[in-house]
Structure formats: structure tokens, C-alpha cells
Amino acid sequence: MLAQFITNGLISGGAYSLIAIGYTMIYGIGKLINFAHGELYMGGAYCFYLFYIVLGWDIYSSTLLAVIAGGVLGMGLERVAYRPFKGSSRLVPLITTIGASTFLRAAVTLLFDLNTKSLLKNASFQEPFSILGINITPVQGLTIVVSLGLMSLLTVVLKKTRVGKAIRATAEDRASASYVGIDTDRITSITFAIGGLMAAVAGILVGYDQNISPNMGILAGFKGFTAAVLGGIGSIPGAALGGICIGLAENLGAAYISSAYKDSISFAMLVLVLLYKPRGILGEKQ
Amino acid sequence: MRSYLGKRRIGFYLATAVFLAFTVLIWNACSKSEGKGIRFGFIGPLTGPAASYGVAQRNGIMLAVEEINGAGGLNGKKIDVIYEDSQMDPNKAISAVKKLIDLDKVCAVIGETTTAGTLAIADTANRSKIVLLSPSASGAKVTDAGDYVFRASPSDAFQAIVAAKFIFEKGFRKGAVVYTNDDWGTGLQKAFEKSFSGLGGKILTSEACTPGTQDFRTQLVKIKSFSPDFIYIPLYPDESPVFLRQVRELKISGQILGADNFSEKAILKTAGTSANGVVFTMPAEPTGKAYESFSKKFKSKFKEDASYSSAVAYDCVYLLAEAIKNSNLSGEHTKSALYKIRNYQGASGVIGFDANGDVTTKEFTIIKIDNGEYMPVKN
């Protein structure tokens, strides 16, 4: 049973990590907590619903296009809610992203409706397979694999490629980065796009596993944000670690302490970590 | 220089906005004192986890208001309703009820949809002497919520007893409970456990979840280890389909026993075949002539199937109209007139209030879900 609890923790933890990465990267580059990030996650899932269920396209092109749509949504968000307020108080883009989050949720509610929807085409549930006594559906396995894979890929991209280096340079010191010829506006836009892509992947995977609704981004956004802070905001490995920690903590907590506290456990853990390590587990020293 | 001008301009805009806001307020107050119409308020979750209830109720209310106004109104005046979205958040319900009573000067409030919301706003309604008529708050605590609080659906104390008795008589002895951790869910969970144990059955484990939960796997794995005969699930409509799906995916056998969370047919579509065989309690089987004529009108207006929720909200408007008919709009009067209603033939069943403002004339029935359809079960 412990193995099953740990697996459950890894499934939700993987999704939290993907969301946390967007928070952490956007914070790194723009010193902004993007409160509409949960809506990018929800938006990706709804784009998939639109392509796959409403328009009836095949699963591969629906997934690909929905992920791209998530990236575009991230870039659009940067254009509308971040770039026009560059240079003003840091509180301004904070408020505009809250506004964007409300707007996106309302727009999806109007376009579709409020009822939860299943992303499965013909069946109402997936047949699980068993390994070592653990029941897991294909998409749940995929969630773990894809989240770990994407995070490793992203680490490589940031370390080795030109764009990755430009992102890191901009995050470190925006002014100096622009002095050496980096188009920091473009880099910011790309960062939002990466955040949107990751969130959309998480949204599609979780949505396929657990149904979708316009409100799915709220709690997921909070959890992703908590994961980013827990791991050390600004740090990519920190976001990954934070997500997995929260996924494991809440599932093991629900199993062995009480399921009534499942959602509080992650926040309690955050408070504890911040008391002893105020910059998060892997946070850099100032 | 630029920022200085900017600040002055902001000041100007602010002053204009404040001025306009006051104008609107005063104008509103004036138009109210002229007493053009009769104004009700509605508070319910139009968005959020229980939105399917709230939207169905709003539609039921709209239909009733349209009918009454089409037939010449109430006491010669048109009814208008102000709809407030509580998002299933008791705090939002409190702001909404204050706005409705203080600002909009409504003469009665229909709502809140959920037990937690109704309990949160009951105090304000009692103090302001405004009738609060909830279509669907079913928690046992609502009974003692005050003199001005009424409800058109029967109490959960009763619903849980019906469910416990039914499942016990069918020969099930070992149960587990998964419930939403709020007033409604815990109310049902406690009442169910009490009456099921009282009958001689055993509850092996109860697991809670936060409203809006979509991942029940850990709770379900725990339950599976107890291998219960059945699982009782007082969960909200948006939690129920994914719960059923995860039950099937974790290969958990055993009867699923629901509460009125399955009374919205929309969720059957999302749940699909995983809802087959679920048995649940529904407040009064909505059949009969009144329901049929209501559901026909509802379908032609909204292009959607009517449900218990929409029917009971529709009845609420007529109940208030009945109480206010040929009389003044004071809350005190509306209250005492409602207490006199004993035998109203509504679309959602017969409605009569007892001394606590509870409905005692409706009975819960047991329904089984079979390929997206409701099958009444004889008990």
C-alpha cells in the first residue's frame, strides 16, 4: 500500500512540478508572481478539449496544438498583463495577472460551461495495469515520465543553448544582459511561452486523468506556487523538488494522518521549511 | 512633470467615478421608494464547484418570475430578482446578502443553495427581519438557524436515515464513507454513521476531502484495504464523476451509495458508464402533473432538461408570491404568512413548513442510475 501512496504522490507531484517551473522561471526573469499561471494550466486542458473532443481531431495533433496554444497563451499574457507595465511598481503586474486570471476563467466558462467534462472519448474510465501490486493507468504513468523528462530537457536547454544562456543572463541581471546585446523583451516573452507550455502539458495530463472544469487552475496554481516557493523560487531543480515533495507529503499525510488535512499539509510544510530555510530548500543566498 | 499631470488626472477620474457612483446610488434609492416593483434577491453558486445547482436554480427562478410577470405580476407589480454569485464561498454569500438587503432593499432572499452558505447568512437575515428561503440547503443545522430562515427541501437528518435504512435492509453491513469536508458533507456523514451503526451496521473508515477535490486516489486506496461492502459518498456534483472514475480505475468493488449529489443529470454525462449501478437518495421524486408541466416549460425556454434543483427554486418564487399576495412587503408579514403554508402543490413536490421553517411534507426516494437514466427503487 505504501508503494501505491508513493506512486500517487509522484503523479500529482509531477504535475505540480511542471506548474512550479513556470512560476519560478517567470519570477526569475520578471520578478513577478504570475497569478494567472493556474489559468494557463486550465487553458491548455481546454484547448485540448476543444481540439480532441469538440472538433474530433486525433490525439497526437490535439496534444501538440494544445501545448503550443498554451505557449501562445503565455506569450499573450506577457504582452497584455506584463510588458505594458514594465518599469512601474512591482505591484502593478501582480494585480494585472490577477485580473487576467479572472478574465480567462470567465471566458472559458462562457465559451464552454461550468460542468466538469471528461477528456476520454469513448470510455468513462481507463483500464489500469498493475506492476508490483500498484494500480496505475497509462496516462498516470505518462505524467510521471513526461514531467521528469521535460524538466531534464529544460535544464539542458538552459545550460547549453544560446536562448537558455540568454534567459539565465536576463534572470541574473537584466540591465547587464541588455548591455551585452540580449533582447530582454524577447527573452521575457520566450520565458512566458515556456511557462505556458509546461503548464499546458500538466493541464492536459491531469485533465485527461481527472476531468476538467474552469476552476481546475485555482488549487493547482496554489499548489504549484507553493512548490516553487518551497523549492526556492528562481531555482528550476528547486521547483521540481518542491513539486515532488508536496505531492508526496499530501498523499502520505492523507494516508497516515488524516485525509481531512490533505490540502493543508502542503501549506504546513511550506511554513516549516520557510521558518528554517527562508529562501526555500534549494534557494540561492542573496 | 509627466507623472505630476498623471496624478492629477487620476484624481480627476477618481472624483468623477465617486460622483457617478453616488448619483447611481441616490437614483436607485429614489426609484425604489417609488415602489415600482417587488424585488427578490437570489444567492447561489453560479460559478465554482456547486455551480450546476446554482445555475439550475437561477433558471428555475427566471421561469417562475417570467410566468408571474406575464400574468400581470404580484399585487399588480412586476417582480424582479437580483442574482448574486456566492461561488460556494460562505464569505462571498455574506457580502452578497448584505448588498441585497442594505443596497438593493430586497424584500426576501432565495438562497443560499448550500448548507454552509445558508448558515453563514442566516444571522444577517434574522437581524434584518428579511425572509431567507433556501431551495436546497439540507444540512441538519439549518433547522435551528432562526425564525426568518426557511427551506424548501427536507433536512439531511432525514436523508441520511433513509439511505442508511435502505442499504442496511439490502443486507449490507460493512461500509466506508467519503465526504466533502463542509457543513453539508459532515452533516450527512455524521447522521449516516449514527443511524447505520444504530441499525447494527459497521462503518470501517471515513475519509474527508476539501470541496473541489479531483484526486481521491489516496483515500480510495485506504478504503480498498478495508474492503467494505459499500461506500457512502456525500460529495458535490463536480467531485462525483471523477470519484466514480477513480473507483473503477483502482478496481474497487462494492455498492456506491450517493446523496442528492446525483440529482443533476448533467453529471451523469460526464460520469458515463462509471455511474452505472450507483444508488442515491433524491429529495422527493419529481414526478406528477405539476412537475411535468414545469419541465415542459423549462425545456422549451432553456433547451435543457429540468431537474429537482430547478423545480424547487421555481417553487420558492411561488411560495414567496403566495406569502406576499394581497398584503404588504414587510419581512415580518412574509415570515408569518410562510409559516401558514401547509400544503402547497409545487413542481418539486408538496411543500408545507413546520415551526422551524423545515419542510416535512417531502419524502426522499431511492434512485438507481442505469446508463444515464434514473430508475426508482422500491424500498
B1 is a domain residue: no
- Tell whether B48 and B150 lie within a shared domain: yes
Per the structure, the complete domain to which residue B195 belongs is given by 157-283
Q: Kindly determine whether residue B208 and residue A126, on different chains, have CB atoms separated by under 8 Å.
A: no
pLDDT value at position B25? 54
- In which element (H, E) is residue B144 found? none
Cell numbers at B261, concatenated? 449529489
- Tell whether B249 and B292 lie within a shared domain: no
Shortest alpha-carbon distance between residue A82 and chain B (Å) = 20
Contact map slice: A 103-132 vs B, CB within 8 A: 105, 109, 114-118, 120, 123-128
Q: Kindly determine whether residue A4 and residue B221, on different chains, have CB atoms separated by under 8 Å.
A: yes
Rounded CA gap, A34 and B114, in Å?
32
- Which of B283, B302, B322 represents a domain boundary (last residue)? B283
Say if residue B105 is exposed, middle or buried (CB neighbours under 10 Å; 0-12, 13-18, 19+). Answer: middle
Structural contact between residues A215 and B49, judged by C-beta atoms closer than 8 angstroms: yes
Using the predicted structure, report yes or no on whether residue A286 has a pLDDT greater than 60.
Answer: no
Residues of B in contact with A255 (CB under 8 A): 218, 221-222
Considering only residues B4 and A122, tell me which one the structure prediction assigns the higher pLDDT: A122
**Which of A115, A134, A256, A258 has the most B C-beta neighbours within 10 Å, making it the best mutation to test the interface with B?**
A115
pLDDT value at position B349? 86
Nearest CA in chain A to B48: A215
A73 is a domain residue: yes
- Tell whether B85 and B169 lie within a shared domain: no
Using the predicted structure, report yes or no on whether residue A157 has a pLDDT greater than 90.
Answer: yes
> Any CB–CB contact under 8 A between B268 and chain A?
no
- Tell whether B307 and B223 lie within a shared domain: no
Q: Kindly determine whether residue B207 and residue A263, on different chains, have CB atoms separated by under 8 Å.
A: no
Which residues fall within 8 angstroms of residue B187, CB to CB, at 6 or more apart? B115, B138, B139, B140, B141, B156, B157
pLDDT digits (tens, 9 = 90+) for A9-59: 999 999 999 999 999 999 988 888 899 999 999 999 999 999 999 998 999
A208 is a domain residue: yes
pLDDT band at A133 (very low <50, low <70, confident <90, very high): confident
Shortest alpha-carbon distance between residue B214 and chain A (Å) = 6
pLDDT value at position B10? 61
Question: How confident is the model over A146-158, as a mean pLDDT?
Answer: 92
- Tell whether B174 and B119 lie within a shared domain: no
Nearest CA in chain B to A5: B218
- In which element (H, E) is residue B187 found? helix B183-199
Nearest CA in chain A to B47: A114
A178 is a domain residue: yes
pLDDT value at position B119? 94
> Any CB–CB contact under 8 A between B215 and chain A?
yes
A244 is a domain residue: no
- Tell whether B199 and B124 lie within a shared domain: no
Is ipTM strictly over 0.95?
no
* Overall number of domains in chain B: 2
pLDDT value at position A153? 93
> Any CB–CB contact under 8 A between B49 and chain A?
yes
Contact map slice: A 31-90 vs B, CB within 8 A: none
Shortest alpha-carbon distance between residue B195 and chain A (Å) = 22
Least CB–CB distance from A116: residue in B181, B241, B275: B241
B127 is a domain residue: yes
Per the structure, the complete domain to which residue A166 belongs is given by 2-227
- CATH code, domain with B131: 3.40.50.2300
Q: Kindly determine whether residue B272 and residue A123, on different chains, have CB atoms separated by under 8 Å.
A: yes
- Tell whether B144 and B254 lie within a shared domain: no
A55 is a domain residue: yes
pLDDT value at position B338? 93
Mean pLDDT for each consecutive 10-residue tract of chain B (379 residues)?
A: 51 63 53 66 87 91 95 91 92 95 94 92 94 91 92 86 92 94 89 93 92 89 93 91 90 90 80 88 75 92 90 95 86 91 89 89 85 79
pLDDT digits (tens, 9 = 90+) for A213-233: 888 998 899 999 999 999 988
- Tell whether B201 and B222 lie within a shared domain: yes
Contact map slice: B 178-197 vs A, CB within 8 A: 181
B21 is a domain residue: no
Rounded CA gap, B203 and A184, in Å?
61
- Which of B283, B302, B337 represents a domain boundary (last residue)? B283
* Overall number of domains in chain A: 1
B203 is a domain residue: yes
- Tell whether B45 and B126 lie within a shared domain: yes
> Any CB–CB contact under 8 A between A215 and chain B?
yes
- Tell whether B334 and B237 lie within a shared domain: no
B223 is a domain residue: yes
Q: Kindly determine whether residue A137 and residue B241, on different chains, have CB atoms separated by under 8 Å.
A: no
pLDDT value at position B16? 65
- Tell whether B167 and B263 lie within a shared domain: yes
A283 is a domain residue: no
pLDDT value at position A125? 79
Shortest alpha-carbon distance between residue B357 and chain A (Å) = 32
Considering only residues B198 and A133, tell me which one the structure prediction assigns the higher pLDDT: B198
- Tell whether B214 and B355 lie within a shared domain: no
A172 is a domain residue: yes
Q: What is the mean pLDDT of chain A?
A: 90
Least CB–CB distance from A211: residue in B207, B214, B275: B214
SS3 string of chain A?
Answer: CHHHHHHHHHHHHHHHHHHHHHHHHHHHHHCCCCCCHHHHHHHHHHHHHHHHHHCCCCHHHHHHHHHHHHHHHHHHHHHHHHHHHCCCCCHHHHHHHHHHHHHHHHHHHHHCCCCCECCCCCCCCCCCEEECCEEECHHHHHHHHHHHHHHHHHHHHHHHCHHHHHHHHHHHCHHHHHHCCCCHHHHHHHHHHHHHHHHHHHHHHHHHHHCECCCHHHHHHHHHHHHHHHHCCCCHHHHHHHHHHHHHHHHHHHHHCCHHHHHHHHHHHHHHHHHHCCCCCCCCCC
A286 is a domain residue: no
Contact map slice: B 223-242 vs A, CB within 8 A: 225, 237-238, 241-242
